[in-house]
Amino acid sequence: MKFVILTDTHFLERGRTNYAIDPAARLEAAIKTINREHADIDFVIITGDLAHWGQLEAYAHLKSMLASLNAPLLLMMGNHDRRMPFREVFPDADFDGDGFVQSLRVFEGATVVTLDTLDEDGPSHAGVLCPKRLSFLERALGEAPEDRPLLLFQHHPPFVTGLPHMDRIMLRNGAEEAERFDRIRRPDFMFMGHVHRPIGGVWHGVPFHIQRALAHQVAFDLHTKETIPGSHELPDYALVTVTGRDVVILTRSFLYNGPEFWLSDPAAQAAASIDDLRS
């Protein structure tokens, strides 16, 4: 089983830029690379913050861009999203029966559970799993087949990352999520977005991967608390391969335009500048 992860597209209406970045141009480049190099994937998943302001026009713009993607698509909610305009543009998106964009899918190679951590009425951009969403998580953990890995996707990390400006707006009730893991079943792997930085590790016995954003990035800053530092570091996507119980994640920088060379090439080893490598 193979799939691609994108996150934090932060789309705006057509023609608008954000922090001097055109999210549509970046998504177009990602889709072209994915279509060209990954014809064998099962799906592409975008793990939230689809639109920067949650505008109907932004979702319509996003939908028009996604039409060129060859693979099946899963869409999730992030803190910048708004469910009503999203559903107006994507009426076939996941629906759990209680108004949330979350689902359980059983594939041959793995079970995929997506959670909606958007707190649309909350005082900040922090996430939450309300009682209805926790009940959904309980059912999903209990119903997922035991004979294949269980992969859990959510926008907000439920743990402290060490980036204090982002940790202020993490999932507020991660302890309640962890309690369900202890009582019912631990996922085999967790995937998240939100932080706009690539982070990996283990939380509560569960390995995790936080995907770098497609749009603007959050700068590496371990001290600033009140203001989120931004940067123009290049985006990437993740190619995930699940083989039995093994999960391998490769990240692909699809906007790199520098030289490529053979490491065994004596001329490349002797190059004194980037221009030498290009020649």
CATH number at residue 132: 3.60.21.10
- For the chain, residues with pLDDT lower than 50 are none
- CA dist., res. 213 & res. 235, Å (int): 6
Q: Give Cα 3 to chain centroid, integer Å.
A: 12
Q: In what order do the strands lie in the sheet with 150-153?
A: 103-106, 111-114, 150-153, 189-192, 206-210, 199-203
In whole angstroms, how far apart are CA 125 and each of 17, 24, 117?
21, 23, 10
pTM of the model: 0.97
Query: Are the beta carbons of 259 and 35 closer than 8 angstroms?
Result: no
Give me 124's structure tokens.
């900040």
The two structure tokens encoding residue 103: 């689902």
pLDDT tens profile 144-171: 999 999 999 999 999 999 999 999 999 9
- Contact status, residue 1 vs residue 110, Cβ threshold 8 Å: yes
Number of domains in the chain: 1
Residue from 212, 255, 1, 240 nearest 106 by CA: 1
The pLDDT value given to residue 278 = 82
- DSSP type of residue 218: E
Range of the structural domain that residue 222 is part of: 2-278
Neighbours of 37 (CB within 10 A): 13
Quick: pLDDT tens for 53-100.
Answer: 999 999 999 999 999 999 999 999 999 999 999 999 999 999 999 999
Give the model's pLDDT for residue 13: 96
- For residue 239, the model assigns a pLDDT of 98
What is the spatial distance between Cα 140 and Cα 67, in angstroms, rounded to a whole number?
30
Q: Both tokens of residue 158?
A: 């439920």
